[in-house]
Amino acid sequence: DAEITQSPRHKITETGRQVTLACHQTWNHNNMFWYRQDLGHGLRLIHYSYGVHDTNKGEVSDGYSVSRSNTEDLPLTLESAASSQTSVYFCASSFSVNEQFFGPGTRLTVL
Amino acid sequence: LAKTTQPISMDSYEGQEVNITCSHNNIATNDYITWYQQFPSQGPRFIIQGYKTKVTNEVASLFIPADRKSSTLSLPRVSLSDTAVYYCLVGENAGNMLTFGGGTRLMVKP
């Protein structure tokens, strides 16, 4: 069955380190998204992509980057992790009509 | 993107019908209304989407009045497993960008 996966599911890192979170989908969706969700709050859009080699900034993109070299993957990189980036990160993909399919999430702790 | 307003929390009991209303006064002509459900420690899950009048699927119904400035998600005969956060979102289908607000935390009690 088609699915969307994220790895790692849990990550602890130190301030200043570079961290990459993986997102892989097998639906062949053109659209992929990264969100962060802080405890007790809704999701905020970090970056999104409408296709290979396309990337766009969301509302909270500072300190994050993405690259889209193929349809299936959209890795999220934290260039220099900060404690304020401690959060749960969700990846999503969609074909159209606002029906996004979300991954299981990655819980990132920056010490 | 149109801003949405929905209650922070709601309580209900098993077997009751639950109606969650969302206000979106600045909804644009091309905007659709979409509802997501999120359980703890999981990503949101699409429930239903509509443009006007009424939409029904196996999970819920969505009622949208003629002026489209609000919408109501109706969950029939809720069970304990419906305890979750429900998000109302408004946006164009073509854009595929969604802005999640704080959502409504529904607690279903036995």
pLDDT digits (tens, 9 = 90+) for B67-90: 999 999 999 999 999 999 999 988
Residues of chain A with Cβ-Cβ distance to B98 below 8 Å are 45, 98, 100
**Is there a contact between A98 and B93 if contact means CB atoms under 8 Å apart?**
yes
**Is there a contact between B100 and A43 if contact means CB atoms under 8 Å apart?**
yes
Nearest CA in chain B to A88: B41
Q: What is the pLDDT of residues B2-56, one digit of tens each?
A: 688 999 999 999 999 999 999 999 888 888 899 999 998 899 999 999 999 999 9
Distances (CA, A) of A78 to A17, A71, B93, B101: 8, 21, 29, 24
**Is there a contact between A97 and B44 if contact means CB atoms under 8 Å apart?**
no
Q: Closest to B96 (Cβ–Cβ): which among A44, A59, A94?
A: A94
Specify whether the CB–CB gap between B34 and B98 falls below 8 A: yes
Least confident segment among A55-64, A65-74, A96-105, B68-77: A96-105
- Say if A1 is an interface residue toward chain B (CB within 8 Å): no
Specify whether the CB–CB gap between B24 and B32 falls below 8 A: no
- Say if B81 is an interface residue toward chain A (CB within 8 Å): no
Residue type, B64: I
Burial status of residue A46 (CB atoms within 10 A of its CB: 0-12, 13-18, 19 or more): buried
Residues of chain A with Cβ-Cβ distance to B59 below 8 Å are none
